[in-house]
Homo-oligomer: A and B are copies of this chain.
Amino acid sequence: MTEERRPFVSARTVAERAGVSRSAVSRTFTDGASVSEETRRKVLEAAGELGYHVNHLARGLRERSNIVCLVVADMTTPIRARLIDVLTRKLQAAGKVTMVINTGTDEQSVASAMRQTLNYRADATVFLSGTPSAKLIETSLANGQQVVLINRDDPLTGCHNLGVDNEMAGREAFFLLRRAGCTRLALVTSTAHTASLIERERVFVAVAEAAGLPVAVMAAGPTTYASGYESARRLFGRSDGPDGVFCVTDLLALGFMDAARHEFGLTLPDQLCLVGFDDIEEGAWESYKLTTFAQPFAEMGDHVVDLLAAPVPVIPGRRIFQPVPIWRKSIRASAL
Protein backbone atom coordinates (compact mmCIF):
# COMPACT_ATOMS: atom_id res chain seq x y z
CA MET A 1 0.00 0.00 0.00
CA THR A 2 2.00 2.97 -1.18
CA GLU A 3 -0.34 5.72 -0.11
CA GLU A 4 2.16 8.45 -0.72
CA ARG A 5 3.70 8.95 -4.15
CA ARG A 6 7.35 8.21 -3.86
CA PRO A 7 9.24 11.24 -5.05
CA PHE A 8 11.75 11.24 -7.87
CA VAL A 9 15.27 10.87 -6.61
CA SER A 10 17.20 14.13 -6.86
CA ALA A 11 20.84 15.04 -7.15
CA ARG A 12 20.91 15.84 -3.45
CA THR A 13 19.97 12.31 -2.45
CA VAL A 14 22.67 10.96 -4.71
CA ALA A 15 25.20 13.39 -3.23
CA GLU A 16 24.39 12.31 0.31
CA ARG A 17 24.71 8.66 -0.57
CA ALA A 18 27.97 9.16 -2.41
CA GLY A 19 29.36 11.36 0.36
CA VAL A 20 30.09 14.30 -1.94
CA SER A 21 28.56 17.71 -2.57
CA ARG A 22 25.56 18.21 -4.81
CA SER A 23 27.73 20.18 -7.20
CA ALA A 24 29.86 17.11 -7.76
CA VAL A 25 26.80 15.19 -8.89
CA SER A 26 25.81 17.95 -11.23
CA ARG A 27 29.29 18.10 -12.70
CA THR A 28 29.43 14.36 -13.17
CA PHE A 29 26.50 14.60 -15.54
CA THR A 30 27.73 17.72 -17.33
CA ASP A 31 30.07 17.35 -20.27
CA GLY A 32 33.39 19.08 -19.86
CA ALA A 33 33.00 19.83 -16.17
CA SER A 34 35.90 19.18 -13.84
CA VAL A 35 35.50 16.09 -11.65
CA SER A 36 38.10 13.66 -10.42
CA GLU A 37 37.88 10.08 -11.55
CA GLU A 38 37.37 9.00 -7.96
CA THR A 39 34.31 11.13 -7.17
CA ARG A 40 32.84 10.47 -10.61
CA ARG A 41 32.96 6.76 -9.85
CA LYS A 42 31.33 7.22 -6.47
CA VAL A 43 28.59 9.39 -7.93
CA LEU A 44 27.82 7.03 -10.78
CA GLU A 45 27.63 4.13 -8.37
CA ALA A 46 25.22 5.90 -6.04
CA ALA A 47 23.17 7.14 -8.98
CA GLY A 48 22.91 3.61 -10.33
CA GLU A 49 21.78 2.19 -7.03
CA LEU A 50 19.14 4.86 -6.49
CA GLY A 51 17.96 5.02 -10.09
CA TYR A 52 18.79 8.67 -10.52
CA HIS A 53 17.91 10.55 -13.70
CA VAL A 54 18.78 14.17 -14.39
CA ASN A 55 15.66 16.32 -14.32
CA HIS A 56 15.42 17.93 -17.73
CA LEU A 57 12.58 20.12 -16.55
CA ALA A 58 14.81 21.81 -14.01
CA ARG A 59 17.63 21.98 -16.51
CA GLY A 60 15.23 23.63 -18.95
CA LEU A 61 14.61 26.37 -16.42
CA ARG A 62 18.00 27.87 -17.08
CA GLU A 63 18.65 27.27 -20.76
CA ARG A 64 16.82 25.70 -23.66
CA SER A 65 14.21 23.11 -22.83
CA ASN A 66 14.90 21.04 -25.96
CA ILE A 67 11.18 20.56 -26.31
CA VAL A 68 9.59 20.88 -29.73
CA CYS A 69 5.82 21.03 -30.06
CA LEU A 70 4.08 19.41 -33.00
CA VAL A 71 0.63 20.82 -33.65
CA VAL A 72 -1.51 18.45 -35.70
CA ALA A 73 -5.10 17.75 -36.57
CA ASP A 74 -6.19 14.54 -38.31
CA MET A 75 -3.27 12.45 -37.18
CA THR A 76 -4.84 9.38 -38.71
CA THR A 77 -4.39 10.67 -42.25
CA PRO A 78 -1.57 8.61 -43.79
CA ILE A 79 0.54 11.63 -44.79
CA ARG A 80 0.24 13.19 -41.36
CA ALA A 81 1.27 9.95 -39.72
CA ARG A 82 4.28 9.75 -42.03
CA LEU A 83 5.31 13.31 -41.26
CA ILE A 84 4.95 12.85 -37.54
CA ASP A 85 6.96 9.66 -37.75
CA VAL A 86 9.79 11.30 -39.68
CA LEU A 87 9.88 14.38 -37.50
CA THR A 88 9.79 12.63 -34.15
CA ARG A 89 12.55 10.27 -35.22
CA LYS A 90 14.83 12.93 -36.60
CA LEU A 91 14.26 15.40 -33.81
CA GLN A 92 14.92 12.70 -31.27
CA ALA A 93 18.18 11.84 -32.99
CA ALA A 94 19.11 15.51 -32.69
CA GLY A 95 18.56 15.43 -28.93
CA LYS A 96 15.14 17.08 -28.95
CA VAL A 97 11.95 15.70 -27.54
CA THR A 98 8.56 16.24 -29.16
CA MET A 99 5.26 17.10 -27.60
CA VAL A 100 2.32 16.32 -29.78
CA ILE A 101 -0.66 18.59 -29.55
CA ASN A 102 -3.73 17.18 -31.22
CA THR A 103 -6.06 19.96 -32.15
CA GLY A 104 -8.80 21.09 -34.43
CA THR A 105 -7.97 23.45 -37.26
CA ASP A 106 -10.17 26.24 -36.00
CA GLU A 107 -8.66 29.46 -34.72
CA GLN A 108 -9.83 28.78 -31.19
CA SER A 109 -8.14 25.43 -30.66
CA VAL A 110 -4.99 26.51 -32.48
CA ALA A 111 -4.73 29.37 -30.02
CA SER A 112 -5.03 27.00 -27.11
CA ALA A 113 -2.40 24.72 -28.66
CA MET A 114 -0.11 27.72 -28.96
CA ARG A 115 -0.61 28.47 -25.28
CA GLN A 116 0.37 24.92 -24.33
CA THR A 117 3.47 25.34 -26.39
CA LEU A 118 4.42 28.44 -24.46
CA ASN A 119 3.45 26.97 -21.13
CA TYR A 120 5.94 24.17 -21.60
CA ARG A 121 8.64 26.53 -22.87
CA ALA A 122 9.02 24.69 -26.12
CA ASP A 123 11.98 25.97 -28.11
CA ALA A 124 9.96 25.69 -31.26
CA THR A 125 6.51 24.89 -32.58
CA VAL A 126 5.92 22.98 -35.80
CA PHE A 127 2.53 23.29 -37.42
CA LEU A 128 1.41 20.42 -39.62
CA SER A 129 -2.20 21.51 -39.71
CA GLY A 130 -4.03 24.64 -38.82
CA THR A 131 -2.60 28.04 -39.29
CA PRO A 132 -1.95 30.27 -36.32
CA SER A 133 -2.91 33.89 -36.63
CA ALA A 134 -0.19 36.52 -37.06
CA LYS A 135 -0.83 37.75 -33.54
CA LEU A 136 -0.18 34.34 -32.02
CA ILE A 137 3.04 33.98 -33.96
CA GLU A 138 4.06 37.40 -32.74
CA THR A 139 3.68 36.17 -29.18
CA SER A 140 5.76 33.09 -29.86
CA LEU A 141 8.55 35.05 -31.47
CA ALA A 142 8.51 37.58 -28.65
CA ASN A 143 9.19 34.68 -26.32
CA GLY A 144 12.15 33.55 -28.39
CA GLN A 145 10.34 30.60 -29.90
CA GLN A 146 10.79 29.46 -33.44
CA VAL A 147 7.75 28.66 -35.53
CA VAL A 148 7.76 26.27 -38.46
CA LEU A 149 4.86 25.90 -40.86
CA ILE A 150 4.71 22.84 -43.08
CA ASN A 151 2.55 22.97 -46.19
CA ARG A 152 0.72 26.04 -44.98
CA ASP A 153 1.69 28.59 -47.55
CA ASP A 154 0.10 31.57 -45.88
CA PRO A 155 2.47 34.50 -45.99
CA LEU A 156 3.19 34.91 -42.30
CA THR A 157 6.39 36.75 -41.58
CA GLY A 158 8.78 35.66 -38.90
CA CYS A 159 8.27 31.93 -39.24
CA HIS A 160 9.99 29.24 -41.20
CA ASN A 161 7.97 27.91 -44.03
CA LEU A 162 8.34 24.59 -45.82
CA GLY A 163 6.27 23.79 -48.83
CA VAL A 164 6.27 21.71 -51.96
CA ASP A 165 6.22 23.05 -55.47
CA ASN A 166 2.48 22.93 -56.06
CA GLU A 167 2.78 24.88 -59.26
CA MET A 168 5.03 22.23 -60.77
CA ALA A 169 2.63 19.51 -59.61
CA GLY A 170 -0.43 21.19 -61.07
CA ARG A 171 1.30 21.83 -64.38
CA GLU A 172 2.85 18.38 -64.60
CA ALA A 173 -0.43 16.69 -63.73
CA PHE A 174 -2.04 18.41 -66.68
CA PHE A 175 0.72 17.43 -69.09
CA LEU A 176 0.52 13.82 -67.92
CA LEU A 177 -3.19 13.68 -68.65
CA ARG A 178 -2.88 15.47 -71.98
CA ARG A 179 -0.09 13.23 -73.19
CA ALA A 180 -2.33 10.29 -72.28
CA GLY A 181 -4.84 11.76 -74.68
CA CYS A 182 -7.47 12.80 -72.16
CA THR A 183 -9.87 15.48 -73.35
CA ARG A 184 -12.58 15.71 -70.70
CA LEU A 185 -10.69 16.88 -67.64
CA ALA A 186 -11.79 17.18 -64.04
CA LEU A 187 -10.17 18.25 -60.82
CA VAL A 188 -11.18 16.84 -57.46
CA THR A 189 -10.37 18.79 -54.33
CA SER A 190 -11.73 19.18 -50.81
CA THR A 191 -13.87 21.78 -49.17
CA ALA A 192 -11.07 22.46 -46.70
CA HIS A 193 -9.51 25.39 -48.46
CA THR A 194 -5.89 24.78 -47.64
CA ALA A 195 -3.47 27.04 -49.43
CA SER A 196 -1.51 24.22 -51.04
CA LEU A 197 -4.63 22.52 -52.37
CA ILE A 198 -5.89 25.77 -53.79
CA GLU A 199 -2.56 26.35 -55.49
CA ARG A 200 -2.54 22.94 -57.18
CA GLU A 201 -6.10 23.49 -58.33
CA ARG A 202 -5.39 27.00 -59.60
CA VAL A 203 -2.39 26.03 -61.69
CA PHE A 204 -3.98 22.87 -63.11
CA VAL A 205 -7.10 24.74 -64.21
CA ALA A 206 -5.12 27.68 -65.58
CA VAL A 207 -2.78 25.55 -67.67
CA ALA A 208 -5.61 23.39 -68.97
CA GLU A 209 -7.75 26.32 -69.99
CA ALA A 210 -4.78 27.99 -71.62
CA ALA A 211 -4.55 24.82 -73.70
CA GLY A 212 -8.21 25.10 -74.59
CA LEU A 213 -9.46 22.32 -72.31
CA PRO A 214 -12.11 23.24 -69.74
CA VAL A 215 -11.95 21.61 -66.31
CA ALA A 216 -14.83 20.42 -64.17
CA VAL A 217 -14.00 21.19 -60.55
CA MET A 218 -15.53 19.09 -57.80
CA ALA A 219 -15.32 19.33 -54.04
CA ALA A 220 -17.63 17.08 -52.04
CA GLY A 221 -16.24 17.36 -48.50
CA PRO A 222 -13.07 17.13 -46.43
CA THR A 223 -9.83 15.59 -47.67
CA THR A 224 -10.92 11.97 -47.27
CA TYR A 225 -11.54 8.74 -49.14
CA ALA A 226 -15.27 9.27 -48.78
CA SER A 227 -15.13 12.70 -50.40
CA GLY A 228 -13.24 11.30 -53.36
CA TYR A 229 -15.82 8.56 -53.67
CA GLU A 230 -18.68 11.01 -53.58
CA SER A 231 -16.99 13.29 -56.11
CA ALA A 232 -16.83 10.44 -58.60
CA ARG A 233 -20.51 9.65 -58.09
CA ARG A 234 -21.41 13.22 -58.89
CA LEU A 235 -19.07 13.61 -61.86
CA PHE A 236 -20.02 10.33 -63.53
CA GLY A 237 -23.67 10.86 -62.71
CA ARG A 238 -23.69 13.55 -65.40
CA SER A 239 -24.01 12.80 -69.08
CA ASP A 240 -20.34 13.18 -70.03
CA GLY A 241 -18.04 12.01 -67.26
CA PRO A 242 -14.36 12.95 -67.35
CA ASP A 243 -11.67 10.73 -68.82
CA GLY A 244 -8.74 12.44 -67.08
CA VAL A 245 -8.79 13.48 -63.44
CA PHE A 246 -6.33 15.15 -61.10
CA CYS A 247 -7.14 14.58 -57.44
CA VAL A 248 -5.23 17.02 -55.29
CA THR A 249 -4.68 14.31 -52.70
CA ASP A 250 -4.05 10.56 -52.87
CA LEU A 251 -6.80 9.82 -50.38
CA LEU A 252 -9.30 11.59 -52.63
CA ALA A 253 -7.86 9.74 -55.61
CA LEU A 254 -8.30 6.30 -54.05
CA GLY A 255 -11.91 7.02 -53.16
CA PHE A 256 -12.47 8.37 -56.63
CA MET A 257 -10.93 5.32 -58.24
CA ASP A 258 -13.02 2.91 -56.21
CA ALA A 259 -16.25 4.65 -57.10
CA ALA A 260 -15.32 4.83 -60.79
CA ARG A 261 -14.63 1.11 -60.85
CA HIS A 262 -17.26 -0.32 -58.58
CA GLU A 263 -20.15 2.06 -59.18
CA PHE A 264 -19.64 2.81 -62.86
CA GLY A 265 -17.64 -0.19 -64.04
CA LEU A 266 -14.88 1.91 -65.54
CA THR A 267 -11.43 0.44 -66.14
CA LEU A 268 -8.18 2.28 -65.59
CA PRO A 269 -6.26 3.46 -67.46
CA ASP A 270 -8.30 2.70 -70.60
CA GLN A 271 -11.45 4.63 -69.82
CA LEU A 272 -10.10 6.83 -67.07
CA CYS A 273 -6.69 8.27 -66.22
CA LEU A 274 -6.00 9.39 -62.68
CA VAL A 275 -3.26 11.38 -60.96
CA GLY A 276 -2.93 11.99 -57.23
CA PHE A 277 -0.62 13.80 -54.89
CA ASP A 278 1.26 12.79 -51.69
CA ASP A 279 2.36 9.23 -52.42
CA ILE A 280 0.76 7.50 -49.46
CA GLU A 281 1.55 3.82 -49.07
CA GLU A 282 -1.96 2.72 -49.98
CA GLY A 283 -1.52 4.19 -53.45
CA ALA A 284 1.15 1.61 -54.19
CA TRP A 285 -1.13 -1.27 -53.29
CA GLU A 286 -2.02 -3.72 -56.00
CA SER A 287 -5.65 -2.60 -56.16
CA TYR A 288 -4.72 0.98 -56.93
CA LYS A 289 -1.27 1.51 -58.47
CA LEU A 290 -1.86 5.21 -58.49
CA THR A 291 0.36 7.59 -60.40
CA THR A 292 1.18 10.45 -58.09
CA PHE A 293 3.73 12.91 -56.77
CA ALA A 294 5.79 12.01 -53.73
CA GLN A 295 6.34 14.56 -51.01
CA PRO A 296 10.02 14.41 -50.04
CA PHE A 297 9.36 13.74 -46.36
CA ALA A 298 12.87 12.72 -45.46
CA GLU A 299 14.37 15.88 -46.91
CA MET A 300 11.74 18.01 -45.25
CA GLY A 301 12.39 16.35 -41.91
CA ASP A 302 16.11 16.91 -42.27
CA HIS A 303 15.51 20.55 -43.03
CA VAL A 304 13.33 21.04 -39.97
CA VAL A 305 16.03 19.54 -37.81
CA ASP A 306 18.63 21.76 -39.46
CA LEU A 307 16.49 24.77 -38.63
CA LEU A 308 15.81 23.86 -35.04
CA ALA A 309 19.09 22.32 -34.01
CA ALA A 310 21.25 25.06 -35.52
CA PRO A 311 23.56 26.70 -32.98
CA VAL A 312 22.66 30.17 -34.22
CA PRO A 313 19.05 30.96 -35.13
CA VAL A 314 18.36 30.62 -38.84
CA ILE A 315 16.73 33.59 -40.53
CA PRO A 316 13.13 32.63 -41.27
CA GLY A 317 12.17 32.15 -44.85
CA ARG A 318 10.39 29.94 -47.32
CA ARG A 319 11.88 26.76 -48.65
CA ILE A 320 10.30 24.90 -51.53
CA PHE A 321 10.77 21.18 -52.05
CA GLN A 322 10.33 19.40 -55.34
CA PRO A 323 7.75 16.64 -55.36
CA VAL A 324 8.89 13.54 -57.22
CA PRO A 325 6.61 12.03 -59.88
CA ILE A 326 5.83 8.38 -59.22
CA TRP A 327 4.81 6.46 -62.32
CA ARG A 328 2.25 3.75 -61.79
CA LYS A 329 -0.55 2.27 -63.84
CA SER A 330 -3.42 4.69 -63.35
CA ILE A 331 -2.29 6.54 -66.48
CA ARG A 332 -1.99 5.20 -70.00
CA ALA A 333 1.48 4.18 -71.10
CA SER A 334 1.35 6.67 -73.97
CA ALA A 335 1.93 9.30 -71.34
CA LEU A 336 5.56 8.27 -71.04
A interface list, Cβ under 8 A from B: 2, 5-9, 51, 53-58, 60-61, 65, 70, 75-76, 78, 80-82, 84-85, 88-89, 92, 97-102, 115-116, 118-121, 139, 142-144, 225, 229, 254-255, 258-259, 261-262, 281-282, 285-288, 313
Contacts and interface: CB of A to CB of B under 8 A. Distances in A.
A80 to B, nearest CB: 8
Contacts of A143: 6, 8-9, 51, 53
Contacts of A82: 76
Contacts of A51: 139, 142-143
A68 to B, nearest CB: 10
A53 B97 contact: no
A304 B86 CA distance: 26
18 contacts: A5-B313, A7-B144, A8-B121, A54-B119, A70-B100, A75-B81, A75-B84, A76-B78, A76-B82, A81-B81, A88-B100, A92-B102, A99-B100, A225-B285, A254-B285, A258-B285, A287-B287, A287-B288
A2 B65 CA distance: 20
Work out how many copies of this chain go into the complex.
2
A158 to B, nearest CB: 11
A89 B143 CA distance: 26
Contacts of A285: 225, 254-255, 258
Contacts of A89: 102
- 9 nearest A-B pairs in the assembled complex, by CB-CB distance: A258-B286, A53-B118, A88-B102, A81-B81, A75-B85, A287-B287, A6-B144, A5-B144, A56-B119
B282 A144 contact: no
